[in-house]
Amino acid sequence: MLSGGSDGVIVLYDLENSSRQSYYTCKAVCSIGRDHPDVHRYSVETVQWYPHDTGMFTSSSFDKTLKVWDTNTLQTADVFNFEETVYSHHMSPVSTKHCLVAVGTRGPKVQLCDLKSGSCSHILQGHRQEILAVSWSPRYDYILATASADSRVKLWDVRRASGCLITLDQHNGKKSQAVESANTAHNGKVNGLCFTSDGLHLLTVGTDNRMRLWNSSNGENTLVNYGKVCNNSKKGLKFTVSCGCSSEFVFVPYGSTIAVYTVYSGEQITMLKGHYKTVDCCVFQSNFQELYSGSRDCNILAWVPSLYEPVPDDDETTTKSQLNPAFEDAWSSSDEEG
């Protein structure tokens, strides 16, 4: 696992639980520390493995750079310099046709950097304020979502000259039929974006303490009500959705806790408590079905699904309340129960 800190340091962890204990500490394999010649000078905002090969990863920082690293040597293979602070970057998890990195900065333009040529290939214009979050679709190679402090979320096809496909409208066109540029996704800054694992829907969070679920093909607000989703972040908020679960969940940093909602009903399932200070980011690991969260308390916590404890056969005190509902057997062979 890659981890970036507010001190500019990047650490790689081995997630394997070799001790087989219920509670364990992951070992740091290596790090890019303060004494490294290419270490970021300020806070690391985003780190991401190259989607097709862990031999390379990228990091972006408030020091106005995006760096491409060789994992084996821990040396920079390339550095992209920007005029503004970098809030977020993302590489497409599915693309085999391009190597574009989308970058959101304090400026209103979305930058697209090409790893093959080593240059910023082109710019997407349309937002009016800083770009706080960017995310490629996990379904289509060329579809990109961007969120801005101008209250807008835009979907782009980066192959098109005009670029922008849709500016999401929280009112679904009912309030204003005037021009698309008037559309807003939230009544405040939009600082978080996350596609569902199948790419058919997009979740957004804003400083209006709301989370919204959108149909990513037509841009329609599905009007799912998640209630108040507390969001005081001044920069990008990194939240995540589950993958491989029978019911999809969304995990959102909520102060020093993480709120868990069902994606399509909006029901809040639980609050994960364990951090002592504000949680800034969380990511879901589908292979292990684990959630990882990073906080200002300088800890990264791993969360695993809770399974019921097996009870000895001779103990007759077992009640259904002791079982995780997912493991309850609702089938009956009784003729009376039908």
Give residue-wise pLDDT tens across range 154-165: 999 998 877 799
- Measured distance CA(267)–CA(260) in Å, rounded: 9
Q: Residue type for 272, please?
A: L
Q: Is the predicted pLDDT of residue 54 greater than 80, yes or no?
A: yes
Average pLDDT value for residue range 200-216: 96
Q: Please, which pLDDT band fits residue 64 given cuts at 50, 70 and 90?
A: very high
Q: Which of 20-24, 211-215, 320-324 has the lowest mean pLDDT?
A: 320-324
Q: Please, which pLDDT band fits residue 318 given cuts at 50, 70 and 90?
A: very low
Architecture of domain 82-238: 7 Propeller (2.130)
Residue 54 corresponds to which tokens in the numbers above?
A: 């862990």
Average pLDDT value for residue range 190-211: 95
pLDDT of residue 310: 53
Task: Give the three-class secondary structure for 105.
Answer: strand
With CA atoms as reference, report the closest residue to 302 among 312, 314, 289.
289
**180: buried, middle or exposed (CB in 10 Å: 19+, 13-18, 0-12)?**
middle
User: Structural domain boundaries of the chain?
Assistant: 82-238, 246-308
pLDDT of residue 180: 62
pLDDT of residue 143: 95
pTM of the model: 0.86
- Measured distance CA(104)–CA(98) in Å, rounded: 18
Query: 163 Cβ partners below 8 Å, 6+ apart?
Result: 124, 125, 126, 156, 157
Residue 283 corresponds to which tokens in the numbers above?
A: 């990511």
Q: Is the predicted pLDDT of residue 181 greater than 80, yes or no?
A: no
Distance of CA 274 to the CA centre of its chain: 20
Concatenated DSSP letters of 121-190: EEEE---SS-EEEEEE-SS-TTEEEEEETTS-EEEEETTSSS-EEEE--TTTTSS--S-GGG--SSSS-E
Is residue 32 within a helix (H) or strand (E), and if so which, with residue range? strand 27-32
- Measured distance CA(322)–CA(246) in Å, rounded: 21
Average pLDDT value for residue range 155-180: 80
How big is the CA angle at 159 (ends 157 and 162), to the nearest 5 degrees? 70
Q: Is the predicted pLDDT of residue 329 greater than 80, yes or no?
A: no
Q: Please, which pLDDT band fits residue 179 given cuts at 50, 70 and 90?
A: low
- Measured distance CA(92)–CA(111) in Å, rounded: 14
Burial 283-297 (b: 16+ CB within 10 A, else e): bbeeeeeebbbbbee
Q: Is the predicted pLDDT of residue 218 greater than 80, yes or no?
A: yes
Q: Residue type for 144, please?
A: L
CA distances from 327 to 7, 8, 92, 324 (A): 44, 44, 36, 6
In total, the chain counts a number of residues equal to 338
pLDDT of residue 116: 85
Q: Which of 79-83, 84-88, 96-100, 168-172 has the lowest mean pLDDT?
A: 96-100
Percent of the chain with pLDDT over 70: 88
